[in-house]
Amino acid sequence: MNLTRFKLQLKLQFKLQFKLAYTLFGAALAALVSVAHAAPPATVRLDYLHSGNALSEQYAIERVVIEPLPWPGNLTRNDDNTDRGLNRVEVLDAKTGDLLYSRGFSTIFGEWSSTDEANKLSRGFQESVRFPKPEKPVRVRILKRDERNAFSVVWSVTIDTDAQDVVRKQAPAAASTIPIRVNGPSAEKVDLLIIGDGYTQAEMAKFEADARRLSDHLFKVSPFRERASDFNVWAIAVPTPESGVSRPSTGVHHASPLGTRYDIFGSERYVLTTDNRALRDIAQHAPYEFIEILVNNDTYGGGGIYGQFSTAAAGNDWANYLFVHEFGHHFAGLADEYYTSPVAYQSSASRQEPWEPNVTALRDPAQLKWKSKVKTGTPLPTPWPKEVYEADAREYQKRRTALRAANRPEAEMSALFSEDLKHNGELFSKAVHQHAVGAFEGANYEAKGYYRSEMQCIMFDRSGSFCHVCQDGISSIIDLYSKPASRQ
């Protein structure tokens, strides 16, 4: 074979191979485009009952619901690898055991089981998990962290989402959904739903203004500010007969669609709803992955459960802080870093390493979970004016308790909060490690044995910024649910 003929054959062979590769690539690309533009699956909700006490717990299926709106999530991110939450839901193919979907979460039962009341009696709570509708029967498993901080299965049930007893038709929405900010398709964005409770029909404009005001503030705080385009925000509120929600400790009882109230677990500032079915039946008429409930009250209060919802008193002078702080619990599973305020939870003799990303038991400083952010030479544990802070905090708590006991005007409580924040700022400004990342003892409601990464953070006091570790914890959740513009 002469050289010219060999070159011609080689060139022809290359063209054929290139054409075949191009054809295969085109087919693969077409398949991807087809998947990307395929109609999203329906949204399945499994409602169940979770009961027990401090020593034991039981689960029972209540109903399976096909929600009115399609699945809002990104189907390419069905597996949660963030390792957050006291619990985890896994949806597996019932026949093959393949994992189809997973998410970490926590529950009101999980918090209640750590209270003193749980040592005396049993209670039941409504809970739900949601997942994209599968084509075949699935096995839904609820897992819980054990004493080694590892997940183990505590309940498993087979679900056929095409069974006759599945709820497929429901009453129309009791209120219209308001688009607050829409940046793109739900599958590519984090969908935040703001629900109002305690707003009368005449206060619907006020609810919308509150929702816009507080969500606007959220996106002024890093890292939400930098990632604002990765969010959609919606709002919905079913009118109530009376303005405001219940506050039993003061004899105030109001009927409301969600049943949100103060005094949860005996804490006057803790605001939650335990009526999960009411919450889900309202929320299902809007795209959502996260929920913040605004209560139409002026009294300081809020709450947040990872993967469930958060709450904030919209009319309080500290509403901006409450909205962001409580959303930090719900959205990213951030732990409270304060420890001088009274809480309902009981202290544990053991110091297990918390699953929350922003606190640590510091069992081994060399393995500190945020070690990469600690500058060389920073001592671990890290010194700070702890004794002075605690002495001042004791006096502050006495004044706060006296104001609540006397039912003084909320303006006096707000003034005390401002005074306390200013005092802390002055105290910390003199500290050597004021802006350092380290391990500062005092966090997770405990003065000893738990540590936070920085001296101040939204999760510690009413300052206006998240620490760097909390910012990273938030960003990883945004990545789980969104499709940033750089990757589109």
Domains in the chain: boundaries: 42-159, 178-333, 359-475
Tokens of 147: 């004493």
How far, rounded to the nearest angstrom, does the alpha carbon of residue 101 sit from its chain's CA centroid?
A: 18
Token pair belonging to 164: 């006759």
What CA–CA distances, in Å, run from 439 to 274, 337, 341, 431, 481? 35, 12, 20, 14, 30
At 351 the pLDDT is: 75
- Residue 390 scores a pLDDT above 70: yes
Q: What is the pLDDT of residue 344?
A: 65
Average pLDDT estimate for 8-19: 44
Determine if the pTM surpasses 0.85.
yes
Q: 9-23, 128-142, 287-301, 393-407: lowest mean pLDDT where?
A: 9-23
Lowest mean pLDDT among 7-21, 105-119, 266-280: 7-21
pLDDT of 8 > 90? The answer is no
pLDDT at 15 over 90: no
Domain 178-333 indexed as CATH 3.40.630.30: no
CA 373 – CA 440 distance, rounded (Å) = 14
Please check whether the domain covering 42-159 is classified as CATH 2.60.40.3250.
yes
Q: Tell me what pLDDT residue 148 has.
A: 84
Return the SS3 of 152.
Answer: strand
Q: Which residue in 332, 460, 472, 305 sits closest to 386, CA to CA?
A: 460
pLDDT, position 147: 80
Cα distances (angstroms) measured from residue 193 to each of 80, 91, 104:
21, 24, 19
Backbone angles phi, psi at 316, to 5 degrees: -80, 150
* Lowest-confidence segment of 150-164, 311-325, 397-411 by average pLDDT: 397-411
Question: For the packed helices 386-405 and 410-428, what is the interaxial angle rounded to 10 degrees?
Answer: 180
